[in-house]
Amino acid sequence: MQENLFIAALCERDRGLLNDMLAPVTLRSQDVVFDEGGAAASVYFPLDAVVSLVVSLSSGATVEAAMVGRDGMVGALAALDGHISMSRAIVQLGGRALVCDADAFRRAVMQSETLLTAIIRHGQTVFGQAQQSAACLAAHDIAARLARWLLRARDLSDSDTLPFTQNFLSEMLGTTRPSVSVVAHTLQQAGMIRYRRGKIEIVDVAALQETACECYGVVKDQYAALLRSAACTSGGEPPTRWG
């Protein structure tokens, strides 16, 4: 069974504090885990599911701020500071996760200074990803952003086949559906992806990495540093498997 890399990086004691309260759950694509300003009653640790933290605009448009998968968790800081979420969490790729009650999570974290430190560092990493996403939206073209986004989703799902519609991609990237259609067609013509209705298959990872903006590598490095720091803080070892 695929593991959550953040939990795997923790020391045995901190893993034990979390494992005692975790239960398996299946998340369905497009499910809203929690909404902006609403209560986050649970904390989720994805295994192969992928969750997007999105910001809603007054126009009705949504833009992804961060993508969370098997290298992190969703709802942790909200659980620690009163259950109020600062963003909307929507399941991008359905799959398996581990879930625990927010109150139980807070009690467990307060038993371990090293676990609390690791959770706070995770929150800082998610915030760093959101900052990178804002810079990416302002500075990079749609092709580079789409390539970056597909690579990140591939890493977290550990799959070359991604069930995304053009409409969903346009929402996550903060652009229009016709723009996504044109760029997806260009990437397909270049042999990087194979696109069918509602499904994208990544064919040439290396070429897609060449097309992606620097933000892909920056975010990946941030999460690798998070897992190393979690292991160091908790006295554990960094997980060896990473997509």
Which CATH number is 202's domain given? 1.10.10.10
For the stretch 15-40, pLDDT in tens is: 999 988 999 999 999 899 988 877 77
- Please state the pTM of the whole predicted model: 0.88
Q: 30-46 in b/e burial notation, b at 16+ Cβ within 10 A?
A: eeebbeeeeebebbbbb
Token readout for 194 is 């194979």
Does residue 220 share a domain with residue 207? no
pLDDT at 240: 47
Does residue 17 share a domain with residue 132? yes
Residue 87 CA, distance from chain mean position: 13
The parent domain of residue 37 ranges over 5-138+214-234
pLDDT at 234: 62
The length of the chain in residues reads 243
Does residue 57 share a domain with residue 17? yes
pLDDT < 70 positions in the chain? 1, 82-83, 232-243
Phi/psi of residue 120, nearest 5 degrees: -65, -40
Does residue 149 share a domain with residue 179? yes
Does residue 70 share a domain with residue 188? no
| Domain CATH number, residue 36 | 2.60.120.10
Q: 241 lies in a domain?
A: no
Total domains present in the chain: 2
Element (H or E) spanning 65, and its range? strand 62-68
Does residue 99 share a domain with residue 20? yes
Does residue 229 share a domain with residue 149? no
Q: 101 lies in a domain?
A: yes
CA end-to-end distance (rounded Å), the chain: 15
Does residue 86 share a domain with residue 44? yes
Distances (CA, A) of 113 to 19, 110, 119: 17, 7, 10
Does residue 120 share a domain with residue 61? yes
Does residue 78 share a domain with residue 48? yes
Does residue 95 share a domain with residue 114? yes
CA distance linking residue 15 with residue 4, whole number of Å: 11
**How does strand 42-46 pair with strand 95-101?**
antiparallel
* Nearest alpha-carbon partner for 172 in 65, 56, 49, 63: 63
Does residue 167 share a domain with residue 86? no
